[in-house]
Amino acid sequence: MQLAPDHISAIVDHAKAEAPNECCGLIAARNGTSERVYQMRNAAASPLRFEVDGLEVQRTLDEIDGEGLEVAAVYHSHTRTDPYPSQTDITFAQGWGPQTLWVIVGLASGEPVIRTYRIDGADVQEL
């Protein structure tokens, strides 16, 4: 997926705004290019994990579908660790399938670091 520079900025801004808690959201795309970033609320309000209310997820998925887009990536931040999928992330990714990318913003070093992964079962591949 090609991620537009303004979408990268929006994700980093979201991560900074939610710190010290993790942020989370979805990236919708058309033909392999990001079209929109959907910020979601971290219901866990935690610096260690994110959780999204099922109704919010469904409303967002309905909106993405209604706009003729597809979910290309799930994004979230790690405020205390490197931007590498945790075991919790890997387990959560199973519900989205290997076609959905994972974008993680790391804030632990002070300067945002963004990494993208494909997660297929226990296989984690940085893109």
Full DSSP string of 56-76: HHHHHHHHHHHTT-EEEEEEE
Segment 64-77 shows an average pLDDT of: 97
> How many other C-beta atoms are found inside a 10 Å radius of the C-beta of residue 50?
26
Q: Above 90 in pLDDT, residue 14?
A: yes
Band (pLDDT 50/70/90 cuts) for residue 55 is very high
Statement: residue 11 has pLDDT above 90: yes
Q: Which CATH number fits domain 5-126: 3.90.1150.10, 3.40.50.720, 3.40.50.360, 3.40.140.10?
A: 3.40.140.10
Q: Does the pLDDT at position 63 exceed 90?
A: yes
Domain boundaries, the chain: 5-126
What are the pLDDT digits (tens) for 75-118?
999 999 999 999 999 999 998 999 999 999 999 998 999 999 99
* pLDDT at 110 (0 to 100): 85
Percent of the chain with pLDDT over 90: 96
Q: Of 82, 84, 73, 89, which is closest to residue 27 (Cα–Cα)?
A: 73
Rounded Cα distance between 7 and 59, Å, is 21
Angle, alpha carbons 30-32-35 (nearest 5°)? 45
How far does Cα 95 stand from its chain's mean position? Answer: 14
